[in-house]
Amino acid sequence: MLDFEKRLQNIGQQTILCVGDLMLDDFVYGEVGRISPEAPAPVLAVKRNEIAIGGAGNVARNVASLGARCIFVGLVGDDEAGREVIARLQADPLIEPSLVVDRTRPTTRKVRFVSEHFSTHLLRADWEQAGPVDAEREGELLARALAALPRVGAVVLSDYAKGALTPRLLGEIIAAANKAGTPVIVDPKAADYSVYRGATVLKPNRKELAETTRMAVVSDDDVVAAAGKLNVDLGTQAVLCSLSDDGLMLVPARGAPIRVPAYPVKVKDASGAGDTVVAALAVMLAARADFEVAVRVANAAGAIVVGKRGTATVSAEELRHQVLPASTLASEDKVIYDRTLLAERLAEWRRARLRIGFTNGCFDLLHRGHVKLMAQARAACDRLVVGLNSDGSVKRLKGPERPIQDVASRAEVLAALEAVDLVVVFEEDTPLELIRQVRPAVLVKGGDYTRDKVVGREIVEADGGEVILVDLVPGHSTTSMVARSRP
């Protein structure tokens, strides 16, 4: 997650190609206060309804809401629902619809009846005709997708098993994207996953992974084994398995699995959450983020959208605040001098399976470079611990005229940053003993260090963690600021 902020800033430069099954979602909201006298069924007193583009179209909406452009290739019927879909897609300036009209089938439409008081779906009514498109429509969809491919940084194949994504279409798009070096993310629904052979990332949920591999998928080890089998069988670079309330697990063909726990959120509606995850993943991979960054961002996006009603989207600003959340603690509650309290907090985080990061310094005069360091460090983990040199430690390292601010002032300013979860004051000249206690998964330092000079590197890497060096902001250092302030 080192470059989260940089990748987020680059989202507006990305274009994603999304090809898949399009549908119209209609949510009818109301209250249930009685049972029908005609039949043992609840009566929904309708208050309002909300219409949104669903299915693969929801991927396109989420790509656009994040600030990237989306070329959308899909199929609609020659009907009122199809015209509604076209109008809504055309109204979004960041979506370029390239739709094929099939007069032989209706536009897929889903109407959900929802009790607002209980946040419960009472009934869903579907209008659809599943089954592969005919050869003529298949050719049109394929031609439009291949024509758009040179303009995009990633491809999403959103399969809802309605017939737009035929084996031939999937095979030719994946082959062309691989030849161009463009990542392909597949949200699969086919009974036979061999049609997705060669994709970059497959995103099944736990149930789908179990069904396609015919393996038990209960524990994390089961997920790793089943996903690993898919990688071998299909030549994919990674499988991203949705674990519902337990978060996401990415199993790459090479390297260690990446387990990302779910955010503690109140779920209002999970409709379309998988589309949001896929959209965020595609945008980040198009921006050349690595799997670690992309999966953590996708997980955050999914957490935001399940807290909303209906087929919802997420913005880049919402995403930033989810990945770098404002602290729920007062500044003074984030500062620790007692290592026993630190142990309690670490144990709590580890029980929640959170990824812990660490950075350290004197932070005498907080400046822009420090803020960037904290933001990028926090983006690499779920909780960030900052080791802060005590006053005595600073004097020994920097000279008798330092620190300019005492440790309480420095700690409080650091704790006020939204990226910082905990500030721990240490007396030693180096944070080595503190790092031994924290055992972080990520150790972050400024780019003025070389990897072999980072204190604690051996400890972190021995545990399978990583060391990240953040580029410095030119002209910003406490020493230079102090020098400039002197007459």
Q: Looking at residue 116, what is its pLDDT?
A: 78
Per-residue pLDDT tens digits for 89-147: 999 999 999 999 999 999 999 999 998 777 688 999 999 998 999 999 999 999 999 99
- Active site (annotated) includes residue 275: yes
pLDDT band for position 1 (cuts 50, 70, 90): very low
Q: Is 201 strand, coil or helix? A: strand
pLDDT band for position 329 (cuts 50, 70, 90): low
* 245 Cβ neighbours under 8 A, 6+ residues apart: 262
167-173 mean pLDDT: 98
Choose, from 275, 364, 382, 421, the residue flagged as catalytic.
275
Q: To the nearest 10°, the Cα dihedral for 122, 126, 131, 133?
A: -140
Q: Looking at residue 185, what is its pLDDT?
A: 98
Burial state string for 261-293 with b = 16 or more CB within 10 A and e = fewer than 16: bbbeeeeebebbbbbbbbbbbbbbbbbbbebbb
* Residue at token pair 């021995």: 462
Q: Is 82 strand, coil or helix? A: helix
Contact 58, 70 (CB under 8 A): no
Q: Looking at residue 332, what is its pLDDT?
A: 65
The stretches of 116-241 forming alpha helices (DSSP H) are 135-148, 167-180, 206-213, 220-234
What residue ranges do the domains of the chain occupy?
Answer: 4-323, 331-485
Cα separation, 417 vs 400, in Å, equals: 28
Mean pLDDT of the chain: 89
Cα separation, 280 vs 3, in Å, equals: 15
The stretches of 240-358 forming alpha helices (DSSP H) are 273-286, 291-305, 316-323, 339-351
416 vs 447, more confident? 416
User: How many Cα atoms within 13 Å fall on the side-chain side of residue 341?
Assistant: 11
Structure tokens at 449: 């260090």
pLDDT band for position 474 (cuts 50, 70, 90): low
Pairing of strands 184-187, 95-102: unpaired
Per-residue pLDDT tens digits for 344-380: 889 888 887 788 999 999 998 888 888 888 888 888 8
Name which of 291, 299, 293, 249 is nearest 274 in CA terms.
299
52 vs 233, more confident? 233
Cα separation, 79 vs 395, in Å, equals: 76
Does the pTM of the predicted model rise above 0.85? no
pLDDT band for position 485 (cuts 50, 70, 90): low
Structure tokens at 434: 């503190």
Q: Looking at residue 325, what is its pLDDT?
A: 59
Query: Which amino acid, one-letter code, is at 463?
Result: D
Beta bridge partners of 29: 48, 114
Q: What CATH number should be reported for the domain whose range is 331-485? A: 3.40.50.620
* 250 Cβ neighbours under 8 A, 6+ residues apart: 238, 239, 240, 241, 257, 258, 260, 291, 295
Question: For residue 61, is pLDDT > 80?
Answer: yes
Cα separation, 59 vs 69, in Å, equals: 11
Q: Which architecture, in CATH terms, is 4-323?
A: 3-Layer(aba) Sandwich (3.40)
Asked if omega into 403 is within 30° of 0 (cis), the reply is yes
Q: Looking at residue 350, what is its pLDDT?
A: 87
Per-residue pLDDT tens digits for 233-272: 999 999 999 998 888 999 999 999 999 988 777 777 677 7
Name which of 314, 317, 389, 383 is nearest 347 in CA terms.
383
Q: Looking at residue 190, what is its pLDDT?
A: 94
Question: For residue 201, is pLDDT > 90?
Answer: yes
- The pLDDT > 70 percentage for the chain reads 93
Q: How far is CA 19 from CA 127, 151, 166, 249, 295, in A?
A: 21, 14, 11, 24, 21
Intrachain domains 4-323 and 331-485 with the same fold: no
Q: To the nearest 10°, the Cα dihedral for 13, 202, 319, 91?
A: 60
